[in-house]
Amino acid sequence: MGNSWQELLSRAEIDFVAWRESKQGINIKSSKGQALITKTSQGYSYAPLDGDPFGLGKIETRLDKEKALEITFNSDYPDALVQMEQLFASPRSGDLVVVSKNGSDLRQNFEWPEHHSSHGSLHRQHTLVPFIYNQTGWYSGPVRTADVFNTVLKWSGKPVPENTDGRALC
């Protein structure tokens, strides 16, 4: 990475930047180092190249979406492997993603409405959502908010579509 990358990463409000390395690979770079997230038909892996920006250590075993969530759930970036791949798979995604640190905002001070913190990121504080229910037979592992839609449909006796990202948890 050239000096402009280092200048961007040296800013106090920047947590990390990400860009697509190849069809299967996404680079993550932060002040903690650089890593590569890879997704193939066999699953997800995470390889620190120089330091470890997500603090996950090397994950060589190819993980499916559920196992990737389980392995990363107690980290500062739960589900980051899957979420980064889904972000870059979107046709609306740019070539570079810049993520602010918790409590920082990348908007100008004059912009309205005034913001005092970030939201919608990959940070743990942004991804954990309480889910309260009164059903039995619940899946006991970590789940995604995308699973709520399919679960509510199934609990209410409605058909669960095949083309959603979530799964029914009961």
Domain coverage including residue 64 = 3-100
Domains held by the chain: number: 2
pLDDT computed for residue 139 by the predictor: 82
Shared domain for 68 and 138, answered yes or no, is no
pLDDT surpasses 90 at 69: yes
Nearest to 6 by CA among 34, 42, 39: 34
Q: Is residue 114 part of a domain?
A: no
Q: Is residue 11 part of a domain?
A: yes
pLDDT digits (tens, 9 = 90+) for 106-160: 666 666 666 655 556 788 887 888 877 777 777 878 888 888 899 889 889 999 9
| Pair of tokens at residue 71 | 């392995």
Shared domain for 96 and 25, answered yes or no, is yes
Q: Is residue 122 part of a domain?
A: no
Q: Is residue 138 part of a domain?
A: yes
Nearest to 135 by CA among 149, 156, 118, 150: 156
Which among 100, 115, 147 is the end of a domain? 100
Shared domain for 11 and 94, answered yes or no, is yes
3-state secondary structure of 40: strand
Does residue 107 contact residue 115 with C-beta atoms inside 8 Å?
Answer: yes
Which among 60, 79, 100 is the end of a domain? 100
Shared domain for 95 and 37, answered yes or no, is yes
Instruction: Burial-class residue 8 by CB neighbours within 10 Å (0-12, 13-18, 19+).
Output: middle
CA distance 84 to 45: 12
Q: Which is more confident, 114 or 65?
A: 65
Mean of all residue pLDDT scores within the chain = 86
pLDDT computed for residue 3 by the predictor: 55
Shared domain for 96 and 21, answered yes or no, is yes
